[in-house]
Structure 1
Amino acid sequence: MGRTRTYQWDDPATLAEAAGRMAGIDFLRALRTGDLPGPPINYTLDYTLDEVESGRVVFSLTPGEEHYNPIGSVHGGIFATLLDSAAGAAVHSTLPQGVGYTSLDLTVKFLRRITVDTGAVRAIGTVVSKSRQTALAQAQLVDADDRLLAHATSSCMLFPAPPS
């Protein structure tokens, strides 16, 4: 065992409290600029939130060996996590203060193998449809040449955020 990786994170309760008192787009922009600390999952997988606009977000990740499955490529769970994050954050970017969401489902299609040689990948999430109680979002995982690596759809339930 010659390889190690160390990382740290801030108390996630800080984020939960901020999410309840901010509009979704303001919350995500504060994450992107570093005004709020990233959630622990960002440090665990080493991905970043790069772009935020209403109904659209972009996350990026540079694949490393720490993301590999036993057969020498990036684990599908990494794909799914990036796609789930992008789809959910796209929905979150449209929510007013006091409204929360949770994923109801996630359907992922894996289209290409990813390795460290793939280079940086981007997960682009967009809202497809939104009503008062649900939202449908999609996310695409692409490489630097915009080749589609994976695709996902996610249904989200919207609800009043619990008081902080």
Structure 2
Amino acid sequence: MATTLELIKEDFKNNSFFQYIGFEIVEFEEDRVKIKLDIKEVLLNTNGTLHGGVYATMLDFIQGMLLRAVTKERCVTTNLTTHFLGSVSSGEIFAEAMILQLGYKLAFLEGEITDTDGRLLGKATGTFKIIREK
């Protein structure tokens, strides 16, 4: 029988939007989640670089994934502040997050996107409402 953590991982892995963008789960532990994206041409903007919406989506996903892994509860993003720090046109990028503050109903997280050389490409902070089941 699958653990709660395994069920949460499968929930993300099988999400059609997650799959459509092309995200892959590299690690999914209770205290550490890491995803990657192989950049495809369809995700590039008119400048030929990865679209900012993909950065924001990746940062939103990684923070929500970590929060769910820790709390075992569903959550929704109430605020996401994204900083675009570098551009990339090909290769792989990775995202990880950390919880800065965890309350009963709200959590504050930070996520980062790096390339294969560890160069920081994007950073975001997010506020999430935790949906506690009664």
Q: Under a length normalisation based on structure 1, what TM-score does the superposition of the two structures give?
A: 0.74
Name the counterpart of 1:63. Answer: 39
Identical amino acids, percent of aligned pairs? 23
Name the counterpart of 1:114. Answer: 88
Name the counterpart of 1:27. Answer: 7
Which of 36, 56, 59 is the matching residue for 1:80? 56
The Cα shift of 1:26 comes to 3.3
Q: Give me the whole-angstrom Cα distance separating, in 1, the residues matched to 2:25 and 2:8.
A: 8
1:23–1:134: structure 2 CA closer, same or farther, 3 Å change rule?
Answer: farther
Unaligned segments of structure 2, at least 5 residues: none
Q: Give me the whole-angstrom Cα distance separating, in 2, the residues matched to 1:24 and 1:41.
A: 22
1:129–1:137 contact (8 Å) kept in structure 2? yes
Q: Secondary structure at the match of 1:26?
A: helix
1:122–1:67: structure 2 CA closer, same or farther, 3 Å change rule?
Answer: same
RMSD between superposed Cα atoms in Å: 2.0
Q: Under a length normalisation based on structure 2, what TM-score does the superposition of the two structures give?
A: 0.89
Q: Which one-letter code corresponds to 2:39 in the other structure?
A: P
Q: Give me the whole-angstrom Cα distance separating, in 2, the residues matched to 1:44 and 1:69.
A: 17
1:154–1:28: structure 2 CA closer, same or farther, 3 Å change rule?
Answer: same
Q: Give me the whole-angstrom Cα distance separating, in 1, the residues matched to 2:14 and 2:82.
A: 25
1:100 is aligned to 2:102: no
Unaligned segments of structure 1, at least 5 residues: 1-21
Q: Which one-letter code corresponds to 2:125 in the other structure?
A: T
1:59–1:42: structure 2 CA closer, same or farther, 3 Å change rule?
Answer: same
Q: Secondary structure at the match of 1:146?
A: coil
The Cα shift of 1:55 comes to 3.4
1:127–1:24: structure 2 CA closer, same or farther, 3 Å change rule?
Answer: farther
Aligned residues: 133
For the pair shown, the structure with the greater C-alpha radius of gyration is 1
1:86–1:66: structure 2 CA closer, same or farther, 3 Å change rule?
Answer: same
Q: Give me the whole-angstrom Cα distance separating, in 2, the residues matched to 1:77 and 1:24.
A: 30
Which of 93, 103, 118 is the matching residue for 1:131? 103
